[in-house]
Structure 1
Amino acid sequence: MAANAEIIKVLICQGTGGMASGAAAVAAAFTEEFTKQGVEASVGKRCEVVGTGCRGLCANDVLVDIVLPGQTAVTYDFVTPEMVPQIVTEHVLGNEPVAKKVAGEYYTQFLAKQQRIIFSRCGTVNAESLDDFLAHQGFTGIKKAVTMKPAEVIDEVKRSGLRGRGGGGFPTGVKWSFCAASPGDEKYLICNADEGDPGAFMDRSVLEGDPYGLIEGMMIGAYAIGCKFAYVYVRAEYPLAIKRLQLAIDTCYAKGILGENCMGLGFQLDMRIKAGAGAFVCGEETALMASIEGHRGMSRPRPPFPAVRGLWGKPTNINNVETFANVSYIFYNGADWYSSIGTEGTKGTKIFALTGKVKHTGLVEVPAGTTMKEVIYDVCGGILNNRKFKAVQAGGPSGGCLPAEALDAQVDYDSLIKAGAMMGSGGLVVMDETTCMVDIARFFLNFTRAESCGKCIPCRIGLKIMLEILERITHGEGREGDLELLEDMAYDIKKSSLCGLGQTAPNPVLSTLRYFRHEYEAHIKEKRCPSNSCKPLLKFEVVDGACKKCGLCFRVCPVDAVRWEKGQLAVIDKEKCTQCTSCYDACRFMAIE
């Protein structure tokens, strides 16, 4: 990234992850150091400390780019205020990067296979600056769209091949055409930013890092379907995202970009944020609309679909944040450009949030068709502590768990469904050999059972019974016939539930039964957890042949239940042991049973 010849820029990640790691203090330290050392007077250049959106490698925050005039950016990670004086002295003034503190090869590797389109402005521009947005193609997409007829705009989106990024993967242009064809002058557009999957934060990062980009995508969608009012439904747990989006909306009204005559282009659009209470079921579009209307978030039968009878009984179109963010780039660069990226069935890029037992957690944006193995090993560096990969849970709590033999599956809608998972909104939870797949199925089913609105019996009662069976199995109380009962109930719940929550909630159970049935059988028949994860089945004994006598288990035990001397085999005092699993988690040699 080349710098403006007259400006020294310090780009600091100030997304939620960066702020939690101390980005505000780092920014203040740079401003103070510039003044203290008289940098502007010394070099004759203006200095800017810029708060950007998420950079992706969240585990390494605070991330800072130093951009000197005419040079490419140099990235530092794990930056603290104490590091700032040295960086300013040696790099900004001395033009010599502090080599020991520059992000290592893993950062280059992290970016190498990514194609950052939706995130192209995140991490490079001031997330709160309209001027920065305008300097990076901002609002050129809507200016192009209004030179076309609404039907032509929809055709352009169809030609691009964009599919909804909220989980279902329905073609976006087709969805828009349904709403546009519905009679009536009063229509609504909704952006679903109710991101509820555990470990997922893709939409939040777009809202925090490129709020104007979302507004532009929604303006194009509103023009296409003939809509004059739009809502952004954001979960209230995203205060920074709400703050920056509201600032962007207010600025757009002040500048005439939103309102009665948007940008003087001849169409009207008003926009409002609705903060949701954080109910997972409100990610389902009919429950979301009920929440906006002031009712309890509960799904309703379809048809009629929202495109015919949606918010306040009027035709309504709903897409998620990532979908609208894609729309802007389609009109910047054209449908042919967009459709050249990805696979035949899934065009463009996809953002994934990687969490769990992986070396570099965070957000990645890769072309559709990239394999799961490439995402986990090439982009994110592989498994934490170099342990053995076991599974990846794709698609959030409604997705499936894929084993090592499915790692070559491409990250596109059709390939993941064939493998027994789903794209979902983009959450990937990576698991290693210490993860019990029965317990993972129990964990995700517990989440969806708690988040069920309870309206339909299959979801309300069926998930509760399935959860009770899984809890029995993880406590060593499983019985013959439990697995067959789980499968039968799972398929019945999928077929008969009212909405997508119940229809997909059994997926983690079905996928783990498909790929890890032997673990279920070990729990039931042998009363043993092969991953040594289920506490009621643990022995907490050190295996003589596997123990390397390193003493790590001794050092991490919080209750001094491990006896160890240098060069000696560790011994666990079962009377003191609280079964916290700290020793097991710390041992890299799987020496604790």
Structure 2
Amino acid sequence: MTSPQAPQSADGLLRPVLSECWDSPQSWTLATYRRFGGYRGLPKALAMPPDDVIALVKDSGLRGRGGAGFPTGMKWQFIPQGDGKPHYLVVNADESEPGTCKDMPLLYANPLSLIEGMAIAAYAIRCSHAFIYLRGETVPVLRRLHHAVQEAYEAGYLGENILGSGFDLDITVHAGAGAYICGEETALLDSLEGRRGQPRLRPPFPALEGLYACPTVVNNVESVASVPGILANGKEWFRGFGSEKSAGHGLFSLSGHVVRPGQYEGGLGITLRQLLEKAGGIRPGHRLKFWTPGGSSTPMLTEEHLDAPLDFEGMAGLGTMLGTRALQIFDETVCVVRAVTRWTEFYAHESCGKCTPCREGTYWLVQLLRDLEAGKGRMADLEKLDDICDNIFGKAFCALGDGATAPITSSLQHFRDEYEAHITGRGCPFDPAASTVWADEPSGAAG
């Protein structure tokens, strides 16, 4: 099988890489993975010094695909060497962000891309035991992962003396208990150690004191699954995708009021307009009203941002984040206040309660938003929302607090008149049944 080519097609979408084999029969098996070029990267990595592997990933420009966008190679480089402690690699597969659905399809259809990437990453950071922390509700994905790990052991890609290199690696698959907070890396580590999942104060950072107080790298599924292609095809191949500062390919989840919702893979820097062309556009007879670029914890955007590049710099320039590339699309039938209220209810429910700003702040945000949605609010409540968000943002132990404020502050920026209409009109002017979004759900999260 020849390696995937990076040139961009005329419509801006690129040839699938991680998703190339998804439609193949038994795509999750080792035979299919090899047929699509799998396990060409690991032998190359094992023939290189570990530091050279880190340098290659760093030079490729790969940035974390879990939301923050931190350079992956740099994160690996932070692990101290010669410290006499075990080193650990932990893959964060606790995908729980409302609207996000990229890691689970990847693990279900092509889990061996992650297994190979983990072997390369573990070799680079001198790790002999790695973990996958999976969202526990996804039992079919758990079964596929166990099958993939077993096949890798049987083929000599895991275990002792991998491919005769002298490198040993064991992988443990751990199913979480369904807490959104465990998507935060330090809460995940606490949960993995058998404790209640709550964020840790930092410093120390996981690179120095992570799992079992030892140096630990925590990476997103897609970040690690992207590594084999870099080793197999080279850093210039990877840089052929994406933009100058946001290199590589990525999975984009389109949901909501689109004709063909689903997963679309392309280079970072593609626009929502280009993705909508592939997805058949907004449902017939309607127009785009607002959308999230990276899940509900990223500030929302509007129709005027259709041509903004979906990369780290492009989104930051608009005051939002690329996040998990969960593009939730809403048309003009959706009440912004109602949507934001549902998201905020989710964050209040999922707050671990460890820090006061998030625990108390999200509770009061929900009370205010419910009153506003029901037409019981006052104009002063809008300032109160801003004030509470200001007291949460940047003051919580982890990013859950910041994420909870994002839909509120951005919706007030773009749709303040809609909030005011709920107050002056004593209720919501929208028909919930017309939107088809959460029409039968009194509360809960999107996605």
Normalization by structure 2: what TM-score? 0.92
C-alpha distance 435-423 of structure 1, shift in aligned 2 (>3 A) = same
C-alpha distance 415-128 of structure 1, shift in aligned 2 (>3 A) = closer
Question: How far did 1:314 drift?
Answer: 0.5
Counterpart residue number, 1:92: none
SS in 1 for 2:89: strand
Contact kept, 8 Å, 1:185 with 1:226, in 2: the verdict is no
| Distance in structure 1 (CA, Å) of the matches to 2:100 and 2:171 | 25
SS in 2 for 1:481: helix
Deviations 1:254-298 (A, max 9, x none): 222211211222201000100011110000000001111111111
SS in 1 for 2:175: strand
Question: Aligned to 1:309, which of 198, 202, 209?
Answer: 209
Counterpart residue number, 1:496: 395
Deviations 1:26-82 (A, max 9, x none): xxxxxxxxxxxxxxxxxxxxxxxxxxxxxxxxxxxxxxxxxxxxxxxxxxxxxxxxx
Counterpart residue number, 1:463: 362
| Distance in structure 2 (CA, Å) of the matches to 1:229 and 1:164 | 21
Contact kept, 8 Å, 1:228 with 1:270, in 2: the verdict is yes
Contact kept, 8 Å, 1:115 with 1:349, in 2: the verdict is no
Counterpart residue number, 2:171: 271
Question: How far did 1:252 drift?
Answer: 1.7
Structure 2 unaligned residues grouped into runs of 5+: 3-8, 438-447
Contact kept, 8 Å, 2:58 with 2:73, in 1: the verdict is yes
| Distance in structure 2 (CA, Å) of the matches to 1:182 and 1:364 | 42
| Distance in structure 2 (CA, Å) of the matches to 1:532 and 1:342 | 40
Contact kept, 8 Å, 2:253 with 2:325, in 1: the verdict is yes
| Distance in structure 2 (CA, Å) of the matches to 1:437 and 1:147 | 54
Counterpart residue number, 1:450: 349
1:246 matches 2:154: no
Count how many residue pairs are aligned between Structure 1 and Structure 2. 430
Residue type of the alignment partner of 2:370: E
Counterpart residue number, 1:537: none
Question: How far did 1:182 drift?
Answer: 7.5
Q: Which moved more, 1:325-334 or 1:341-350?
A: 341-350
Question: How far did 1:420 drift?
Answer: 3.3
Counterpart residue number, 1:435: 334
Counterpart residue number, 2:319: 420
| Distance in structure 1 (CA, Å) of the matches to 2:157 and 2:13 | 36
Residue type of the alignment partner of 2:312: Y
Question: Aligned to 1:192, which of 92, 107, 122?
Answer: 92
Where do residues 295-334 of structure 1 align in structure 2 (5 Å cutoff)?
295-334=195-234
| Distance in structure 1 (CA, Å) of the matches to 2:390 and 2:81 | 36
Q: Identity of aligned pairs, percent? A: 41
Counterpart residue number, 1:228: 128
| Distance in structure 1 (CA, Å) of the matches to 2:357 and 2:257 | 34
C-alpha distance 112-369 of structure 1, shift in aligned 2 (>3 A) = closer
1:174 matches 2:58: no
Question: Aligned to 2:383, which of 484, 505, 513?
Answer: 484
Contact kept, 8 Å, 2:337 with 2:369, in 1: the verdict is yes
Question: How far did 1:304 drift?
Answer: 0.6
Contact kept, 8 Å, 1:284 with 1:299, in 2: the verdict is yes
Question: How far did 1:414 drift?
Answer: 2.0
Residue type of the alignment partner of 2:397: L
1:294 matches 2:194: yes
Larger radius of gyration: 1
Question: Aligned to 1:520, which of 411, 419, 434?
Answer: 419
C-alpha distance 436-247 of structure 1, shift in aligned 2 (>3 A) = same
Residue type of the alignment partner of 1:173: G
C-alpha distance 474-308 of structure 1, shift in aligned 2 (>3 A) = same
Deviations 1:214-233 (A, max 9, x none): 10001110010000000001
Contact kept, 8 Å, 2:188 with 2:197, in 1: the verdict is yes
Counterpart residue number, 1:205: 105
| Distance in structure 2 (CA, Å) of the matches to 1:507 and 1:346 | 23
1:372 matches 2:272: yes
Contact kept, 8 Å, 2:199 with 2:398, in 1: the verdict is yes
Question: How far did 1:112 drift?
Answer: 7.9
SS in 1 for 2:78: helix
Q: After the TM superposition, which segments of 4 or more aligned residues of structure 1 sit over 6 Å from their partners?
A: none
| Distance in structure 1 (CA, Å) of the matches to 2:207 and 2:63 | 17
Q: Which moved more, 1:484-493 or 1:507-516?
A: 484-493
Where do residues 68-79 of structure 1 align in structure 2 (5 Å cutoff)?
none
SS in 2 for 1:121: coil
Question: Aligned to 2:292, which of 393, 396, 399?
Answer: 393
SS in 2 for 1:240: helix
Question: How far did 1:483 drift?
Answer: 1.2
Question: Aligned to 2:305, which of 406, 409, 412?
Answer: 406
Residue type of the alignment partner of 2:274: E
Deviations 1:425-452 (A, max 9, x none): 2211110011011111111111111111
Question: How far did 1:418 drift?
Answer: 2.5
Counterpart residue number, 1:64: none
Contact kept, 8 Å, 2:12 with 2:270, in 1: the verdict is no
Question: Aligned to 1:363, which of 245, 260, 263?
Answer: 263
| Distance in structure 1 (CA, Å) of the matches to 2:103 and 2:111 | 10
Contact kept, 8 Å, 1:284 with 1:499, in 2: the verdict is yes
Counterpart residue number, 2:442: none
1:335 matches 2:235: yes
Question: Aligned to 1:382, which of 260, 264, 281?
Answer: 281
Counterpart residue number, 1:126: 26
Normalization by structure 1: what TM-score? 0.70
Counterpart residue number, 1:78: none
Question: How far did 1:423 drift?
Answer: 1.6
Question: How far did 1:482 drift?
Answer: 1.1
Q: Which moved more, 1:485-494 or 1:224-233?
A: 485-494
1:282 matches 2:182: yes
| Distance in structure 2 (CA, Å) of the matches to 1:384 and 1:213 | 34
C-alpha distance 349-530 of structure 1, shift in aligned 2 (>3 A) = farther
Residue type of the alignment partner of 1:315: P
Question: How far did 1:385 drift?
Answer: 2.6
C-alpha distance 194-217 of structure 1, shift in aligned 2 (>3 A) = same
SS in 1 for 2:223: helix
C-alpha distance 519-327 of structure 1, shift in aligned 2 (>3 A) = same
SS in 2 for 1:384: coil
Contact kept, 8 Å, 1:167 with 1:424, in 2: the verdict is yes
Residue type of the alignment partner of 1:523: H
Counterpart residue number, 1:506: 405
Question: How far did 1:374 drift?
Answer: 1.5
Q: Which moved more, 1:480-489 or 1:455-464?
A: 480-489
